[in-house]
Structure 1
Amino acid sequence: MIFTSLKAGSSVEGNTIEAYKSDINAKKFLYLIAGTHGDEVEGVYVLKKLFSWLKEDHALKDLPIIVIPILNPDGYRSESRVNAHAVDLNRNYPTENWSSEFKKPKYNPGPKPLSEPENAFLEQLFQKYPPSFIISFHSWKPVLNYNDNAKDVAEYLSSYNEYPIAADIGYPTPGSLGTYAPEKYQAPVLTFECPPLSDEKSLQNIWEENEEGLKSLIQSELLAKKIQ
């Protein structure tokens, strides 16, 4: 599959936010996003490997895809969940349930929705290339957290990696992408939570336990119908 670099975004500290579009025009796009939380390197690595395969396998059927390898480059460089304004990007979207209140610093939603340049850049992409389905790669514990009409995709992937599926993660997430995209764009979101690094599990191990399922999903009729 052929990808073209889009005009990059810029983080709080002026670091580049890279974005890539597959060489196909469409009304709506599948988004693959990682690095919303800069310290979640597992999700970044999995998307890096998946993106490499997408670019290298020229036999793949072209799909309308936008790839954002690292949405929060400042946090990634500093190994921090939050961006350089100490804002949790996944609490900073203009959802109906957005709130300025937060109990822990790591959940700081910012002074107002879309106050952060990283999310403002993503919103600009959404407006130009509307999302039809989003897979957002994170890491916490192995779980496939589905929103809106993404349960069947979660079940599909779970049949390969045996991760639990869940409609929520057990606590409120106001201002999250998983709430925002279905509300504004009617785009289901699958939050793909990778297991954390450990002495027993390397980044490569995490990729290998997800490689078959993700590659199969990309080539499936199920996903093709989601992004029509």
Structure 2
Amino acid sequence: MAHPLQLGFQDAASPVMEELLHFHDHALMIVFMISALVLYIIIAMVSTKLTNKHILDSQEIEIIWTVLPAAILVMIALPSLRILYLMDEINNPHLTIKAMGHQWYWSYEYTDYEELSFDSYMIPTQDLAPGQFRLLEVDHRMVVPVEAPVRVLVSAEDVLHSWTVPSLGVKMDAVPGRLNQTAFITSRSGVYYGQCSEICGANHSFMPIVVEVVPLQHFENWSSTLLESA
């Protein structure tokens, strides 16, 4: 969960998000080095005779400013492709959940269970209990077991939506008539918040996402209770 005056990302709650944070720091250091080098060259050109004709026509300089950017691109591309394939890999998920975007709420269907589905609406401000977050809390959370591969099938019934949970490193567009899929593995129990990240209409900011990660035994008790009451 984000907190006031936070400068960085939310704490990672999945292995993929941890990789994304490492890649962000890796790319940011490269950007800092490039910025420092360019700043040094600008200062040197202004304050010295670095603009000498022989230096500008130097073959060595031509080679450096051709090879160096290519090497930098490779340093960024290789870890980026690794994470991209890691995010796309879905091997034997323990649980499959279908998330449907509506104007303006989410509905969830646990496809491995019969008749286990529900709608998830944002709780109005006047109905919030002490400790609940305004514009983020919902009446029915999406509950998943900890350390279990979960596949999420994402679609929409009306307009474009986007199912996004930053702490889990998940962001997938919900497109009407199309079924997209994403996957995640949670590394610890907790409650993780997200919001629709596509401008989907007047109440775009009022369709939050809440993923509650619990131990397997708690998940089985929760699903059994929900099925009995259906």
User: TM-score normalized by structure 2?
Assistant: 0.25
Higher strand share: 2
User: TM-score normalized by structure 1?
Assistant: 0.25
Which one has a bigger Cα radius of gyration?
2
